[in-house]
Amino acid sequence: MKDQARHEAPIVLSNERLMDLPATVAVPTYDRAQLTPGIVHIGLGNFHRAHQAWYLHRLMQQGLALDWAVIGAGVRAGDAQQRDRLAAQDYLTTLIELKPSQTTAEVIGPMIGFTPVKPHNAALIAQMADPAIRIVSLTVTEGGYFIDPATKGFDASHADIQHDASHPNTPNTAFGAIIAALKERRDADTGPFTCMSCDNLQGNGAILRQTVVSLARLSDPDLADWIDQNCTFPNSMVDCIVPATGPSELALVRSLGIDDASPVTHENFRQWVIEDSFCAGRPDWDRVGATFTNDVHDFEAMKIRVLNGGHQIIANAGELLSIETIAECIAHEKISAFFQKTAREEILPHLAAVPGMEPTAYVTLINDRFANPRIIDTTRRVAFDGSARHPGFIVPSIKDGLKQGTPIAGLALVEAVWARMCAGIREDGSEIEPNDPFWNDLQVTALQARDSSKIWLLQEQYYGDLAQNDHFAARFDHWLQLIWRDGVESAITQYLGKAAR
């Protein structure tokens, strides 16, 4: 029946129809009925399923970690739609790996449920309070941790934080829900769980600890102390390029013989480096390729500054030039050269080698991954939330360069391109739709900066005191004026023709 399926209507994904899928599609070999939960994952989207869930699936294929199944969760109204899609197909997911010359598909099944998405998160709290849950992991985006942009400390001023501090039993945020569940566990003496961020933040575990403990302290200092002393928050570095799912991905999965309402496409590369700090046990992810280490920092710095920073280098320029995908950006000779020169001359001097990877080789690897034409990763998706990504991915390299006397001209150009992009009009005159939580403020400031560039750098929440650094401010001003006058390609051409300082 498998051989015939490809020539018939796609098989609706479900437990009952797994063995009816085309023979070319790998399926779970473990009995999903025997799985029991061990992990709650908040913010369950494409990346989690292509990354953390995939590693767990590989363990389960070996008959291991069967008591570590995932319960999905979300705190936004839109998460309910994801829950409905996945529940209708027994929480199975089709992962489609897109190599430059080959497409392969597998169905994974480590997820066994998804908590109802309701205001004040009662179901989520109850699920996390279950003693069977030993890890709560999150992907809530880089800008979702309530970090004060100026001090990098906890931002207690946000309305949702104020609500959760005043109403700790009916929280609005994922962090408030975690605290409420940990309170129940402390009171019932069922022990803590590990809180694990899987977002692209350097020191993501330390940042998660800061958010959870600081929020708890606003309403219950004793509970905050208990959490700080008993829960663990491992730092981690996660890496896999995973585009959003749209009509083309839905058509692709159907062409493979599978009717999946929420498939995931991904590149043929994964990396996961995790601090081995788990207070209530963990799966042996290292058996299937993850790296456990107590020194994540160098791995984080290399990935965040080259890959995530590189994404901002090329996506903002691509957006201005109406280039739709990251692969097309890298195919653009000048944008590709801009990334290569900036990365090698201005980012790499501040990075250390990590086991198995020298920094210059890493730039080549990232360039090749960006160039994969099968990964339809849009410039718009990658350029999203620049107000969180530039301070996290680009600004640290600028500050290191100024401190150490290494070149920063290309990085100043990167920031000038972002400022020009935030004006909201591409060079062909088309409109850039709002693409940042603070888009309106950014657009107003970007238009003002056309006449006075320093206005852009005075956004201390993104740049700190960089506006006061004459060396950087002069180069930023030069590039921004040139971009407005002659266009981004002209600015990149000038940068490529000069020694970077």
The string of pLDDT tens digits covering residues 122-171 is 999 999 999 999 999 999 988 899 998 778 899 999 999 999 999 999 99
Cβ–Cβ < 8 Å for 179, 171: yes
Cβ–Cβ < 8 Å for 293, 276: yes
CA pair distance 53, 394, nearest whole angstrom:
29
Q: Supply the DSSP symbol for 325.
A: B
Cβ–Cβ < 8 Å for 195, 216: no
Instruction: Give me the mean pLDDT over the 174-198 stretch.
Output: 98
pTM above 0.95, yes or no: no
Instruction: Out of 33-42, 152-161, 412-421, pick the least confident.
Output: 152-161
Instruction: Give me the mean pLDDT over the 443-459 stretch.
Output: 97
The residue among 37 and 118 whose pLDDT is bigger is: 37
What pLDDT sits at residue 499? 58
The set of residues, in sequence order, having a beta carbon less than 8 Å from that of 348 and lying 6+ positions away, is 306, 359, 360, 363
What pLDDT sits at residue 4? 42
249-274 confidence digits (pLDDT tens): 999 999 999 999 999 999 999 999 99
Domain layout of the chain by residue ranges: 2-293, 297-496
Give the CATH fold of the 2-293 domain. Rossmann fold (3.40.50)
What pLDDT sits at residue 356? 85
- Rg of the chain over Cα atoms, rounded to whole angstroms, equals 23
CATH of domain 297-496: 1.10.1040.10
CA pair distance 45, 262, nearest whole angstrom:
9
CA pair distance 440, 104, nearest whole angstrom:
42
What pLDDT sits at residue 355? 87
Residue 37: phi, psi to the nearest 5? Answer: -75, 145
Instruction: Give me the mean pLDDT over the 288-305 stretch.
Output: 93
What pLDDT sits at residue 32? 97
Residues in a beta bridge with 300 = none
